[in-house]
């Protein structure tokens, strides 16, 4: 690994591994913006420019957005000031891309854009199934609860509007297991591909401990740079 503090970090982890939560915690500590591929694509469409129109064409047709186009969206997004570190280089905390080996190889072509560090949140499938099947959603106002971690005050009723809570089709166990298998097939090769950049974190722990482990794993680069200054 390089001795320079990494400023381009990719978060890898299965759906339900807690990438979003870890990203939020890291953003507030290190300042690099959290870029999620889904959010970036939606923002590009909302911006309505030529790039966004092309993304919209694929999404409206129910197609996957081609890898080259996703890379264009990322390249455009990192032009924004929040993605610039003090030295004028690119900084980001990226999740949702790359998902496949082909994407990772395309991403590696530009050495000023490619990740310098990959944080892998490892979580056992049964833990993820437990997390996701516990979710309850309000069909009326969209509020989200969890039977173990964020239970509603009244069982199966929304705290905000009183509607009956439901389990979304996406949160049924068979659906989750199918998504996890697909993730393993597509993304497991990335673990080997990024072996030299990889930090493995036990994502099955509580949220605070996961974040503490991520921060501890970044310690080797603290050096003279205070944490939070200019990752
Ligand atoms: Zn509600």
Separation between Cα atoms, residue 189 and residue 119, nearest integer Å: 15
The answer to whether residues 223 and 44 touch, using CB atoms and an 8 Å cutoff, is: no
C-alpha 174 to ligand 1 mean position (Å): 26
Q: What CATH number is associated with residue 143? A: 3.40.50.300
First vs last C-alpha separation in the chain: 16
* Within-domain flag for 189: yes
The DSSP bridge partners found for residue 36 are: 95
Average pLDDT, the chain: 89
pLDDT band at residue 231 under the 50/70/90 scheme: very low
C-alpha 171 to ligand 1 mean position (Å): 18
State yes or no: is 56 an active-site residue: no
Q: What is the pLDDT of residues 164-199, one digit of tens each?
A: 999 998 899 999 999 999 999 998 899 999 999 999
pLDDT band at residue 25 under the 50/70/90 scheme: confident
Q: Is the dihedral of CA 168, 70, 200, 9 positive or negative?
A: negative
| Mean pLDDT, residues 93-102 | 93
C-alpha 157 to ligand 1 mean position (Å): 8
| Mean pLDDT, residues 110-135 | 93
* Angle between helical axes of 101-108 and 173-193 (0-180°, round to 10): 40
**Catalytic residue chosen out of the listed positions 84, 177, 179, 207:** 179
Q: Would you state the structure tokens that stand for residue 216, as one six-digit string?
A: 């501890």
C-alpha 142 to ligand 1 mean position (Å): 6
State yes or no: is 112 an active-site residue: no
Per-state percent for the chain, helix, strand, coil, to nearest 5: 45, 15, 40
State yes or no: is 99 an active-site residue: yes
* β-strands 8-12, 92-95 pairing: parallel
* Within-domain flag for 52: no
The answer to whether residues 203 and 119 touch, using CB atoms and an 8 Å cutoff, is: no
* Within-domain flag for 191: yes
Query: How many CA atoms within 13 Å lie on the side-chain side of 207?
Result: 12
CB atoms within 10 A of CB 205: 15
**Catalytic residue chosen out of the listed positions 42, 54, 56, 99:** 99
C-alpha 36 to ligand 1 mean position (Å): 27
State yes or no: is 77 an active-site residue: no
* Within-domain flag for 230: no
* Within-domain flag for 170: yes
Domain interval for residue 165: 8-32+85-221
* Within-domain flag for 39: no
C-alpha 39 to ligand 1 mean position (Å): 24
Alpha-carbon separation of residue 94 from 123, 172, 187, 189 (angstroms) = 19, 27, 15, 18
Residue 229 clears pLDDT 50, i.e. is over it: no
* Within-domain flag for 179: yes
Number of domains in the chain: 1
The answer to whether residues 128 and 176 touch, using CB atoms and an 8 Å cutoff, is: yes
Residue 13 clears pLDDT 50, i.e. is over it: yes
Q: What is the pLDDT of residues 60-86, one digit of tens each?
A: 888 889 999 999 999 999 999 999 988
Residue 201 clears pLDDT 90, i.e. is over it: yes
* Within-domain flag for 162: yes
**Catalytic residue chosen out of the listed positions 19, 91, 131, 136:** 19
């Amino acid at each position: 690994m390089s001795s320079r503090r990494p400023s381009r970090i990719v978060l890898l982890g299965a759906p339900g591994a807690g990438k979003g939560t870890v990203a939020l915690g890291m953003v507030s500590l290190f300042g690099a913006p959290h870029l999620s591929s889904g959010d970036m694509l939606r923002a590009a469409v909302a911006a309505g420019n030529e790039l966004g129109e092309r993304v919209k064409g694929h999404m409206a047709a129910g197609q996957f957005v081609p890898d080259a186009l996703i890379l264009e969206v990322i390249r455009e997004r990192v032009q924004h000031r929040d993605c610039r570190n003090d030295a004028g280089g690119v900084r980001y905390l990226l999740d949702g891309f790359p998902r496949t080996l082909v994407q990772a190889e395309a991403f590696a072509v530009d050495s000023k854009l490619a990740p310098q560090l990959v944080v892998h949140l490892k979580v056992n499938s049964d833990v993820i199934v437990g997390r996701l099947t516990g979710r309850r959603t309000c069909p009326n106002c969209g509020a989200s609860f969890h039977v173990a971690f964020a239970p509603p005050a009244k069982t199966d009723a929304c705290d905000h509007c009183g509607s009956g809570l439901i389990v979304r089709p996406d949160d049924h166990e068979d659906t989750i297991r199918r998504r996890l298998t697909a993730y393993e097939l597509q993304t497991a090769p990335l673990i080997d591909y990024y072996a030299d950049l990889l930090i493995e974190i036990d994502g099955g722990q509580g949220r605070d401990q996961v974040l503490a482990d991520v921060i501890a794993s970044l310690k080797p680069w603290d050096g003279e740079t205070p944490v939070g200054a200019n990752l």
